[in-house]
A = this chain, B = another copy of it.
């Protein structure tokens, strides 16, 4: 391999594929980044065998020459060193040339690095995915959907299936659900696809977090391809593969209450800030629990007590408050996570008693829902 490549384009691609490279791996070659130069450009690959990312740098983009391939070929270079080197090279152009025994020379201006590379033939092959049934979501919407659900996955490996987000595709709609069995986040979006497709898979939360980091904020479409054990996200010059979680995701529809006894509409930002303050002293405690009590005149009181430290009381005026009086305790962290996920000024919260799960949703749409289980305090 012998190429001359634009440093910025290379640095961007290296940064993207690095998201999949783990320093803790049982497969030594996966601590490297694979570079492959062909007549059409240079492909970089990073993988930790759960997630694989492929970034392509074409010969030119928008009239700017990015790559000159003098001799095609491929090599694997230590990801950590290679990424640091690319970041710090002095000139706009970088030359990368392989010699015998996978020795690789990286030159830029008066800098020369001679790195011991690895045989690219020993790098694992990426999954081969048949692109039969593709559906599309704009990149910015995909990032929003991920942000609004992925925080609710379980961080415990007790039930591994709950560390992923359930993606269900049916009737031209994608329903994403995450739960750690104490709270649940759900978001629906319309999708575009040529054929009527239907899937029911579980994508690891970690994969979705990494995907979210490398997607641009624009609204260009991302192609999504599902297979039995892999999902592939395709953006411009970028392939993101993730394995799927094995097992059946629990049926969550029955957890969601259909009736309510107390309903309130609050300003999301004011409510979030009041919860944040009310939990300041409780963060020491085991559960970070705050208590919410309805008061006359549409007022709420949010409070917490930490015997050694002190007591907080917050009062808040609701936009509307209907139904039974209520006195309920819940995790301040879960409430704040849910409020941050619900974009929008005013939100509706529906309770069915102090011991039943309650629901948060934006006004005027059923495309999003957050559910939280209360905490028993007696």
Contact = CB atoms under 8 A, between A and B. Distances in A.
Interface of A: 78, 81, 84-85, 88-90, 110-116, 273-274, 276-277, 280-281, 308-316
A113 B78 contact: no
A116 B308 contact: yes
A113 B312 contact: yes
A111 B81 contact: no
Contacts of A312: 111-114
Contacts of A114: 310-313
Given A110-B315, A316-B110, A309 B277 contact: no
Given A81-B281, A115-B281, 13 more contacts: A78-B309, A81-B309, A84-B280, A85-B277, A88-B276, A90-B277, A110-B314, A110-B315, A111-B274, A111-B312, A113-B312, A115-B309, A116-B310
24 contacts: A78-B309, A84-B280, A85-B277, A85-B280, A88-B273, A88-B277, A88-B280, A90-B273, A90-B277, A110-B274, A110-B314, A110-B315, A111-B277, A111-B313, A111-B314, A112-B313, A112-B314, A113-B280, A113-B281, A113-B310, A113-B312, A114-B312, A115-B309, A116-B309
A277 B114 CA distance: 13
A313 B106 CA distance: 10
A276 B111 CA distance: 11
Contacts of A309: 78, 81, 115-116
A85 B314 CA distance: 13
Nearest to A314: B111
A114 B315 CA distance: 15
